[in-house]
């Protein structure tokens, strides 16, 4: 090429959650039985979509208007419905114009970071759901700027670290919060959210809060939505249907904008995001059309509650299985459906292995971990996959230096779930003692 056609941030775009699937699929072909605990898709893990929900979708499919484009911001009646729900919390007042639909939050995330001025940075958590950290880093053409989530303090944000990062880096324009969090499964108390809002207010920043797991928290934890704590700070909340309904294949999520009028630059930035959606025309119409009918259906609350209760039960099974394993630090999951397990510092090395009976599988794993720069937790994850068929994601692929792995709590069969976590516990011990 006579001109370099590669974007400055191209190297920042990685998504190990799906990369590892390629490896798992190759191993499946070699006869390995695989448990996919790497991806946050409840449907793929056997969640049954209730008949009443399917009936609502079927009725909508019979109506011609659901086949058409919707307005750029999204279906008006649905946006009015959502604005009403947020206003009922009694803290912020928004209307349908403050809501924009996207083709899933993945789409919203790439636009929110993609239309930010290159030199303006958003501080993201470490570890971080990699779609956020990669998109932010790609926009800047630099590795992400991060604040610490502390595994020794329930994975809560380290407020001093946030303040330091903001104070000493004038390029920081905003802070990202994910609550409940992926990949840690943490749920933040209201006071922590208020403290972050206060930092944003003091340093004239905007906030982004990803609330895709908004109603999925348990074990007696209490939290608040951004709308309840934001006061007059400019902010964006992100919500969607992928996890709660759950309908990830619909590719449907939205942003709610708070306090747009408080800062003309924030308002102009949001115009650019809206204009980019306009150039694209609009987002998928069908899931937006059915959203209010589904969440107000008399069986919806109970349906969601049952799932939340199962995650609660399974979070405790997972914690009991792993909490006494030597060499790792685990926190009980209190929200979303992920658990992040950390290896003690310095405990991993390049001579540790797990026994693998199948010669071809063994050969493939050895080849995969051969490169000298293979992260130590990735090495463990490959051995775990080859030896047990359990597929998890290395923690270092979530914008962190902490070695560990993320595992989902989505398996619906309790016996199988217990088997998976006991297998992982035994595998960790065997790997660390090999
Ligand atoms: C925190 C978080 N935000 C956003 C998403 C993506 O949501 P969507 O399916 O709407 O693109 C995920 C998916 O796992 C997530 O964990």
The domains of the chain, with CATH numbers, are 10-47+301-432 (3.90.1150.10), 51-295 (3.40.640.10)
Kindly report the protein residue whose alpha carbon is nearest to atom 16 of ligand 1.
182
pLDDT for res 278:
87
pLDDT for res 226:
98
Confirm if 37 and 413 have CB atoms less than 8 A apart: no
Distance CA 181, CA 416 (A): 25
DSSP 118-154: TT-EEEEEES--HHHHHHHHHHHTSPPPEEEEEGGGT
Confirm if 236 and 258 have CB atoms less than 8 A apart: yes
pLDDT tens, position by position, 390-399: 999 999 999 9
Does the C-beta of 129 come closer than 6 Å to ligand 1? yes
Q: How much distance in Å is there from the Cα of 354 to the middle of ligand 1?
A: 33
Q: How much distance in Å is there from the Cα of 109 to the middle of ligand 1?
A: 9
**294: exposed, middle or buried (Cβ count in 10 Å: 0-12, 13-18, 19+):** buried
pLDDT tens, position by position, 208-227: 999 999 999 999 999 999 99
pLDDT tens, position by position, 105-144: 999 999 999 999 999 999 999 999 999 999 999 999 999 9
Which of 240, 244, 336 has most ligand 1 atoms within 8 Å of its beta carbon, as the pocket-test mutant? 240
pLDDT tens, position by position, 328-361: 999 999 999 999 999 999 999 999 999 999 999 9
Lowest mean pLDDT among 32-46, 60-74, 385-399: 32-46
Q: How much distance in Å is there from the Cα of 1 to the middle of ligand 1?
A: 36
Confirm if 215 and 224 have CB atoms less than 8 A apart: no
Does the C-beta of 178 come closer than 6 Å to ligand 1? yes
Does the C-beta of 42 come closer than 6 Å to ligand 1? no
What sign for the dihedral angle of Cα 147, 152, 155, 158?
A: negative
pLDDT for res 1:
84
- Tell me the HSE value of 396 on the side-chain side, using a 13 A CA sphere: 13
Distance CA 424, CA 321 (A): 9
Q: How much distance in Å is there from the Cα of 123 to the middle of ligand 1?
A: 18
Which of 45, 74, 102, 105 has most ligand 1 atoms within 8 Å of its beta carbon, as the pocket-test mutant? 105
DSSP 349-413: -TT------SHHHHHHHHHHH-STT--HHHHHHHHHHHHH-EE-EEGGGSS-S--EEEEE-----
pLDDT for res 116:
96
| Confidence at 14, pLDDT banded by 50, 70, 90 | low
Nearest atom in ligand 1 to the alpha carbon of residue 178 is 1
pLDDT for res 263:
97
């Amino acid at each position: 090429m006579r001109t370099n056609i590669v974007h400055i941030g191209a190297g920042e775009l990685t998504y190990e959650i799906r990369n590892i699937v390629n490896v798992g699929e190759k191993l499946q072909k070699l006869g390995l039985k695989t448990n996919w605990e790497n991806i946050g898709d409840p449907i793929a893990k056997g969640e049954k979509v209730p008949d009443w929900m399917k009936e609502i979708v079927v009725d909508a499919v019979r109506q011609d208007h659901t086949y058409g484009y919707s307005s750029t911001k999204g279906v008006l009646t649905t946006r009015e419905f959502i604005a009403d729900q947020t206003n009922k919390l009694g803290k912020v007042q928004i209307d349908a114009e403050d809501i924009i639909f996207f083709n899933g939050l993945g789409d919203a995330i790439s636009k929110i970071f993609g239309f930010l001025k290159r030199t303006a940075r958003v501080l993201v958590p470490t570890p971080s759901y990699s779609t956020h950290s990669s998109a932010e880093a790609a926009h800047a053409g630099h590795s992400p700027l991060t604040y610490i989530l502390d595994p020794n303090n329930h994975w809560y944000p380290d407020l001093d670290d946030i303040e330091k990062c903001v104070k000493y880096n004038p390029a920081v324009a905003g802070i990202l919060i994910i609550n409940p969090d992926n990949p840690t499964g943490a749920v933040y108390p209201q006071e922590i959210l208020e403290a972050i809002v206060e930092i944003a207010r003091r340093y004239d920043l905007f906030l982004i809060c990803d609330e895709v797991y908004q109603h999925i928290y348990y074990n007696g934890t209490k939290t608040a939505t951004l709308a309840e704590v934001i006061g007059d700070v400019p902010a964006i909340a992100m919500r969607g249907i992928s996890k709660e309904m759950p309908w990830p294949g619909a590719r449907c999520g939205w942003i709610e904008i708070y306090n747009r009028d408080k800062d003309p630059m924030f308002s102009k930035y949001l115009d650019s995001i809206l204009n980019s959606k306009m150039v694209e025309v609009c987002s998928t119409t069908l899931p937006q059309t059915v959203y209010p009918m589904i969440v107000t259906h008399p069986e919806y609350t109970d349906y969601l509650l049952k799932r939340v209760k199962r995650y609660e039960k399974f979070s405790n099974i997972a914690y009991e299985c792993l909490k006494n394993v030597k060499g790792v630090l685990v926190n009980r999951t209190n929200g979303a459906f992920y658990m992040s397990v950390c290896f003690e510092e310095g405990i991993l090395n390049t001579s540790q292995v797990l026994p693998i009976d199948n010669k071809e599988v063994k050969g493939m794993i050895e080849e995969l971990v051969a490169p000298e720069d293979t992260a130590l937790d990735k090495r463990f994850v490959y051995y775990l996959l080859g030896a047990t068929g359990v597929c998890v994601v290395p923690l270092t692929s979530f914008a962190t230096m902490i070695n560990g792995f993320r595992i989902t709590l989505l398996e619906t069969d309790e016996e199988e779930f217990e088997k998976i976590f006991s297998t992982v516990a035994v595998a960790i011990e065997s790997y660390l003692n090999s």
